[in-house]
Structure 1
Amino acid sequence: MGKHTRPDNDDTAPAVRGTVPGPDPLVEAERRRVLRRYQAFATGLLVVAAIIFLTCSFLQSRGYDSGWLGLVRAGAEAGMVGGIADWFAVTALFRHPLGIPIPHTALLPRQKDKLGDTLSEFVGDNFLNAQLITEKVSSANIPERIGGWMSQWDNARVVSREAGRLLAAVVRDIDPADAEAIIRSQVIGRATEPKWAPPAGRLLQGLIDDGKTEPVVQATITWARRKIDGMEESVVTMIDDRMPQWAPRFARDLVGERVYKEIVKFIEDVDRDPDHEARHAIRRFIAQLAEDLQHDEGMIERVEGLKADMMASTAVQELPGGIWASTSKALLDAAEDPASALRTKVTELTVEWGVRIRTDHGLRTSLDRRLTGAVKFLAENYSGEVTSIISETVQRWDAKEAADKIELMVGKDLQFIRFNGTIVGALAGMVIYTVNYVLFGV
């Protein structure tokens, strides 16, 4: 596992000292108030010991000498020594006692960077250890717990709701102009890049080979028959207009009716006869069209011209905006509506997968193996990157401010060292005085 270490003499990238992040100002003010109260109490205890010592010394100097007075004086003296020593020790962690630069004092400000490196290494060795993490993850039965949670319908609805919120947030954060640009370049732009005629010709040829163009032939004939059925008057009038003016009226009407009846009979014959020559003509036309679309440069150019005109039209230019507007609205409606098909499907899939994970031992084993493998890989390859955040962050802190912040966090507990030093010192002094008095009488 990689460890982050900071070179002792690295002048290539000097650390930038910054403000130490801290709690809410009100919380910090309360911690400072509590710390001062404990400091005052510890100092007051030391002052009491000093007063007792001075009082006993004064009484002894005036001739008042008794065993109990010496005992109290010895206890007060030892309590003063213990309290001062522990005050020095606690203060030396954060600053120079009384502002005097005594060696090996102000340890935190001076050793801040080293402390950050040590803390980083400690976290890496004891918390981001690959073996420790994988054992913890493996013993936690995470897949089984996840499966049991997912298989509950209420939890599945929570998953669906949160997935909907995420999707809605993503859709709303997308700039419509960016979405339209992507649609224009990736959809419409890509659709216009290749020539349309050859693919269309190949598609048409494939339909011909599969016999799929017969419905087109039949539809053409049916359309022609339906159109002719209602065109008798138009045909008679057209032929009447083209007949010589000197021709008798009955002759013109007779010719028009005759022509119309022949046209109707022809269409009916084509409709009834699957092997009619007109059908073959239509098939030949379709086959020739497929050939021309693939190989006739003139046809290909005409199709490209049609494509260019169509792509330059207002309707196509406004198409990306319309596509995104309708798509985004549909996505938002589906994401925010608990009864939408999307949300319902997410809920059902969540429950389905939860049941599968919970009941399928092989699937749970596979998921557990993949999970522990991924955690092991991350711990072995990236724990150094994670722990380096600690050391790099500490390096950026201002030394004095960092010491002050740390003192606010632990200073109250450290004051108990001063309490104990004064009290234990006093008791030890009294015990020593008593033992000495018993043994030597002085």
Structure 2
Amino acid sequence: MKEKNSKRLANISLIVATCGFAATMPFQSKLLQILSGGFEAALVGGLADWFAVTAMFRHPLGIPIPHTALLPKNRAKITEGIISTLNNQWLSKESLIEKVEEREWINQGLSAFEGLLENDESRTKMIESIQQFGASINDETIENYLLTTFKPTINSISSQKLLSNAVDTVIEKEWDAKTYEFLINKIEETVSTPHIKELIGKEIIQFIERKFFMIKAFLPMIGEEKITEFVHSGLIDLLTELKDPKSDRRNFILSFIRLEAEKTKSNENIIHQLDEWKNKGYEYVVKQAINLFRNKLNDKDFILNSIEKILAFIKNSNWIDNVEQSFKKLLINTIEKYHHKIADLVKFNIEKLSTEEITDLLENKIGKDITWIRVNGAVCGFIIGLILTTLRIVFT
């Protein structure tokens, strides 16, 4: 709108100069001669500036006058000039690299992010965006992701190797001996309690009565209490011997346990059972992970605390400087590798435009200011014409 107004004003100034010159030219009055001289100069100045402005963009009146339509004729030079200016001055490789190196990208990014968290509105929108994004992910997508990410790793773990390593670890760290001693101590502690002691005595007497009829007649003579005490004493002696590190029985039992443990390394049934547990365990973990994800997604405090913890961890970590340097190096390498693409992109976009489109584009962008040259030419010409005509009349 402003461009059209300025063009209209320039045309009006030219029309006023023409009409004024035509209207005042026939009269001999000195005042009208002065005005005629002003309008004449305004007409000449306006026409000259109209010719100059028009000649920049096209041939005046469509006549191919030499040294007119300067912009269309010099399209290639203008394009090369723009590209050269971009490459070597405004967006030179050196200036871009300098800008990259002088900024602390990671720290500034973290500070900006913290600023967003401190603002209630942006914090709420951020949490809601995370919740919306999480809600858009269906369970099948999560399961497939875990399946493709972790399942191959889980399947690559050999159950036989896992079993073998477990057995070797148990024997190497003597967990079998520790478990054995724990059980013996627990048995000794249990059988030493009065009601267990009495219960064992009764069970032994009942066993003798059922299996040994001849001895049954002598039981009242010996007495249940003595029999219970005798059996309990023998059991305690046996447990004490089984705890003794030098005991042959203890060493025999541990050797038997270790021998059987070695055999389990190649037990197909156990290996097959471990494979089934692996698959069932994976399915269970996946379901629990999905449930946990859904539950935590609805907890705004958890999301906010998680974000703050991640930020604190990143800021306090020792590798943030290394990340900063790596990021700068990545940007610099990208600039060095693709800097020429800027010129290629500009040239490609310019070449997509026809000469008429480029002319219209430039005229629309700068034509408004250039049009004022015509107005200024007519006004200045009018003033100068008044002065010169006045001087001519005075001195003649």
Structure 1 contact 38–415 (Cα < 8 Å) conserved = yes
Aligned with 2:28: secondary structure?
A: coil
Aligned pair partner of 2:285 in 306, 319, 325 = 319
Q: Are the equivalent residues in 2 in contact too, given 1:225–1:267 (CA < 8 A)?
A: no
Residue identity opposite 2:377 in structure 1:
G
Check if 1:128 corresponds to 2:91: yes
TM-score with structure 2 setting the length: 0.70
Note if 1:49 corresponds to 2:49: no
Q: 2:4 aligns with which of 33, 36, 55?
A: 36
Q: CA offsets, 1:24-79, max 9 Å, x none?
A: xxxxxxxxx2221121111111111111011123xx2xxx3244434433332332
Deviation at 1:204, TM superposition (A): 3.2
> Hey, what does 1:308 align to over in structure 2?
275
Note if contact 1:143-1:367 (Cα within 8 Å) is conserved in structure 2. Answer: no
8 A Cα contact 1:161 1:343, kept in partner: no
Query: Who is 1:236 aligned against?
Result: 203
Identify the residue that residue 148 of structure 2 maps to in structure 1: 185
Question: 2:254 matched to 1:287?
Answer: no
Report the TM-score, using the length of structure 1 for normalisation.
0.64
Note if contact 2:42-2:381 (Cα within 8 Å) is conserved in structure 1. yes
Opposite residue 81 of structure 1, the aligned amino acid is V
Amino acid at match of 2:164: G
Give the Cα–Cα distance (whole angstroms) in 1 for the partners of residues 51 and 23 of structure 2: 25
Residues 42-441 of structure 1 mapped to structure 2, 5 A cutoff: 42-57=10-25, 60=26, 64-93=27-56, 115-133=78-96, 142-143=103-104, 158=118, 176-222=139-185, 224=187, 232=199, 236=203, 240=207, 243=210, 261=232, 264-265=235-236, 268-269=239-240, 272-294=243-265, 296=266, 299=267, 301-313=268-280, 316-327=282-293, 329-330=295-296, 333=299, 337-338=303-304, 340=305, 343-344=308-309, 346-347=311-312, 350=315, 377-397=333-353, 400-401=356-357, 403-430=359-386, 433=389, 441=396
* Pair 1:156–1:49, CA change in 2 (3 A): closer
Q: CA deviation at 1:416?
A: 1.4
Counterpart of 1:414, as a letter, is: I
Conserved? CA contact 2:86–2:343, under 8 Å: yes
SS at match of 1:392: helix
Structure 1 residues 153 and 317 mapped into 2: Cα distance closer, same or farther (>3 Å)?
closer
Instruction: For residue 82 of structure 1, give the secondary structure of its aligned residue in structure 2.
Output: helix
Letter aligned with residue 321 of structure 1: K
Structure 1 SS opposite 2:157: coil
User: In the TM superposition, what is the alpha-carbon distance from 1:122 to its structure 2 partner?
Assistant: 1.1
CA shift, 1:306, in A, is: 0.8
1:224-266 residue CA offsets vs partner (Å, 9 max, x unmatched): 5577675947993997499459779778998x97997488436
Deviates more, 1:419-428 or 1:99-108: 99-108
Q: 1:281–1:185: structure 2 CA closer, same or farther, 3 Å change rule? A: farther
SS of equivalent residue, structure 2 residue 32: helix
Question: Which amino acid letter does the alignment assign opposite residue 308 of structure 1?
Answer: D
Tell whether the 8 Å contact from 1:222 to 1:271 is kept in structure 2 after alignment. no
The one-letter code matched in structure 1 to 2:20 is I
Instruction: For residue 187 of structure 1, report the CA deviation from its aligned partner.
Output: 2.2
Q: For 1:81, what is the secondary structure of its paired residue? A: helix
Gaps of 5+ in 1: 1-32, 358-362
Deviations 1:311-332 (A, max 9, x none): 454x643532322442565478
Q: Which structure has the bigger radius of gyration?
A: 2
Q: How many residues align?
A: 382
- Report the 3-state secondary structure (helix = DSSP H, G, I; strand = E; otherwise coil) of the residue aligned with 1:65: coil
Write the distance in 2 (CA, Å) between the matches of 1:77 and 1:207. Answer: 114
What does 1:10-29 correspond to in 2, within 5 Å? none
Q: Distance in 2 between matches of 1:252 and 1:96?
A: 139
Q: Name which of structure 1's ranges 96-105 and 190-199 shifts more when overlaid on structure 2.
A: 96-105
SS where residue 413 of structure 1 aligns?
A: helix
CA RMSD after TM alignment: 5.2
Residue identity opposite 2:6 in structure 1: Y
Unmatched 5+ residue regions in structure 2? Answer: none
**Residues 158 and 404 (structure 1 numbering): CA distance in 2 closer, same or farther, change over 3 Å?**
farther
Structure 2 Cα separation of the partners of residues 133 and 89 of structure 1? 39
Deviations 1:409-438 (A, max 9, x none): 333222211212222333444555566667
Q: 1:293 to 1:398 in 2, by over 3 A?
A: farther
> Does the CA contact (< 8 Å) of 1:95 and 1:107 recur in 2?
yes
Q: Report the 3-state secondary structure (helix = DSSP H, G, I; strand = E; otherwise coil) of the residue aligned with 2:339.
A: helix
Measure, in 2, the Cα distance between the counterparts of 1:114 and 1:321. Answer: 67
Contact conserved, 1:113 with 1:395, CA < 8 A, in 2? no
Residue type of the alignment partner of 1:69: L
Q: Percent same amino acid among aligned pairs?
A: 20
